[in-house]
Structure 1
């Protein structure tokens, strides 16, 4: 029982560490990032497009015109939705 618990913990930890590195790669490739009030992150890419990551590390859909609030109270209106781009970046850990 103890060995199976240890194995499950190890697998979960490896998955968590992998997602952290993928998120770092996404942040390094974005022109700017903003921490959102809901715990997520807004990525602004160099071509002016944007994408939103949930507080759980998943790319999430945004409606064009949706207003997002940063932790410092700034409001940003979504002008695009690069959910597939961010999803690929998170899953692969890099941007081509």
Structure 2
């Protein structure tokens, strides 16, 4: 792993812990748990563009921007990819 890739993954993990963990770490309010590939599968089938839009605009009990008020669409994509893969 290059230092740039390692730094990027640390940044995603830090942002995840700051913004996403409160709900996705435990499945609060029906949020798919981080690392639960089966739980994320039906969402991933909708496509990344839809998932990023939902993160930005909110969906069901997830408020707009989740808890990441300074996230870009690229940040949301990286976070979704991080949460939707097995840990």
Do the structures match in fold with TM over 0.5? no
Larger helix fraction of residues: 2
Structure number with greater Rg is 1
In the superposition, the TM-score normalised over structure 2's length comes to 0.36
Larger strand fraction of residues: 1
In the superposition, the TM-score normalised over structure 1's length comes to 0.34
Query: Which of the pair has the greater relative contact order for Cα pairs under 8 Å at 6+ separation?
Result: 2
